[in-house]
Every structure is written in structure tokens, then in C-alpha cells.
Amino acid sequence: MDPTHKRVTTSNTIFRVVGLLILLSGSSLNDSAAASDAEVGPIKLVTAHLVPYSIQEGREQGFMVDLIREIERRLGTNRPVLFMPWPRAIRNTRIGPNHIVFPLTRTIEREPHFDWAINVAPIELVFVTLSGKKLTLQQARSLSAIAVQQNTPFEQYLRQQGFTNLVITTSAAPIPIRMLRAGRVNAWFTAKDLASYSMREQFVTETITYSDSITSGNVYFALSKQFPVNLKQAYQETFSAMQSDGTYQKIMDRYVRN
């Protein structure tokens, strides 16, 4: 064999091996994210109809659905978002592996049961009225009836404050709004962003008055305690990139108006 030909063949082989090693060592977050389902079982994205965070049917899908779908798109996985009753979504994530639940408010009671992976947005709880009266916490105590959604931090907070004048609803928005407009309740205690979006959605024409923030917190993409570490990292880094490149704010601006 010609020595020159032998050297060329050897060099080509070396280049191919080096190239393969580079490809193998350069595995991206996309690769690790895509591999997670095969390694540990399916990852489930669970939520409920909670405007403006997640909207089951409508022209818009909710800012947390938009955010998580963009994360999924960038990771190349595109898992479906599963809507279900809110208590079930929370329970499934709490007791089962490989779940992402949203929008979950971080509370002392919930703290040990979830991995609070991504802090998405602040949340302010307020009293909403159509009477023109801007309520304080103390003034709200003397009202005849306050609408609040069951099994939520909203209800929990008022009960901790000793409120007994609560009208409990299963609905996040439509029913409390109808009750307000019909005069069946004096106020509605809920998240300000939820109320503001819902009032526009329900075409409320009365003057809407919001109290100052009564209490505040944050909503999260929360994970099951048993969740792939590599996928958690992929989600966190992709979300951070979306904040840096302006995608996060662009999505938020479509839903949240001050």
C-alpha cells in the first residue's frame, strides 16, 4: 500500500472518531429532555381552567400554558397539557411521580409536598366590588357575604383571618361575577389578575373597584418530589432564556394589564 494513502486513510479515521466524540459529548438539553420519558415514564403537565393562567377553551390559552408550551417547543418534546379538576391536579402531583402542576401558589402547608422549580409570576389577593367601595380587610369583616373559591389559598387565607361570612363557590370566576352583579354577595376575594381578566371576558360594564393588596405571593410551575433532575434543569434553563430574550414578557403582556 502507498504510505501516503495509508496516512490519509488513518487521518480520515481519526477525524471521524473525533467528530463522533464531539457529537456524543455535546448532547444538548433537548436530548436529555427527550430521553426523560423513556427513562422514567411519561411526564404529565397538569392544570385546571384558571384564567388568565390556564384556559381550557377559548381564543387564548392562558399565560402559563403559553409559557410551558414554549418551553416544550424549545426542548423539542411538545407534551400535551392535561386539564382536570384542580384538586385532582394537585393531588396527582403530590402523590405521583413525574408531574408538573400549574399555576400553584406557594403556601406553608404546600411547601414540603412539591418541588418549587420555577417561580413564574407574583400574585396579589384583593377584594373586588361593583359598588364603588374600596374595601380594607377590616371593612370586609362586616359584609354580609363574600364570594371565594373553595380549596384555594384565597379561602384558606380568609378562614385563617377568622372570616365566617364566606359564600363558597366551585367556580374561579363566572359564578362569583354573576353573584356580584345580582347583588347576592357584596364582594369577591380572589387574585387581581384573575379578576381583571375575567371581568373583561364576561363583558362587565359596571364600575369595578379593587382593594389594595390584602396579601401576596407567587405562582409556580411545581414538580412532583420524584422528578428527573436533568429535565428539571432543562426547564429552568429554558425558562431563564425566555426571560432574557423577551419571550416571557411578551407572553405576559398579552394577559396581564395593570
> Domain limits of the chain?
29-122+217-255, 123-216
Q: pLDDT category, 255, cuts 50, 70, 90?
A: very high
Chain position carrying cell 400549574: 102
| pLDDT of amino acid 170 | 87
Element (H, E) at 123: strand 115-129
All three cell numbers of 225, joined, read 418530589
Mean pLDDT on 148-154:
91
Q: Identify the burial level of 137 via C-beta atoms within 10 angstroms of its C-beta, where 0-12 means exposed, 13-18 middle and 19 or more buried.
A: middle
Candidates 3.40.50.300, 3.40.190.10, 3.40.50.1820, 1.20.210.10; correct CATH number of 123-216? 3.40.190.10
| pLDDT of amino acid 143 | 98
Least confident of 32-36, 117-121, 198-202: 32-36
Query: 245: helix, coil or strand?
Result: coil
Each residue's pLDDT tens digit, 27-36? 455 555 555 5
Roughly what angle, to the nearest 10 degrees, separates helices 63-75 and 229-244?
110
| pLDDT of amino acid 61 | 96
Domains 29-122+217-255 and 123-216 share a fold: yes
The domain 29-122+217-255 belongs to what CATH superfamily? Periplasmic binding protein-like II (3.40.190.10)
Is pLDDT at 19 greater than 70 in this prediction? Answer: no
Which amino acid, one-letter code, is at 120?
V
Instruction: Tell me how far apart the alpha carbons of residues 101 and 91 are, in angstroms, rounded to a whole number.
Output: 10
Mean pLDDT on 204-216:
96
Is pLDDT at 139 greater than 80 in this prediction? Answer: yes
Q: pLDDT category, 104, cuts 50, 70, 90?
A: very high
Mean pLDDT on 150-161:
93
Between the two ends of the chain, the Cα-to-Cα distance in Å is 78
Greatest pairwise CA separation for the chain in angstroms: 100
Each residue's pLDDT tens digit, 166-190? 999 988 888 999 999 999 999 999 9
Least confident of 2-6, 115-119, 129-133: 2-6
Residues 6+ apart with CB under 8 A from 114: 93, 94, 101, 104, 220, 222, 223, 224, 225
More confident: 8 or 30: 30
Residues 6+ apart with CB under 8 A from 182: none
Instruction: Tell me how far apart the alpha carbons of residues 140 and 48 are, in angstroms, rounded to a whole number.
Output: 29
pTM recorded for the entire structure: 0.80
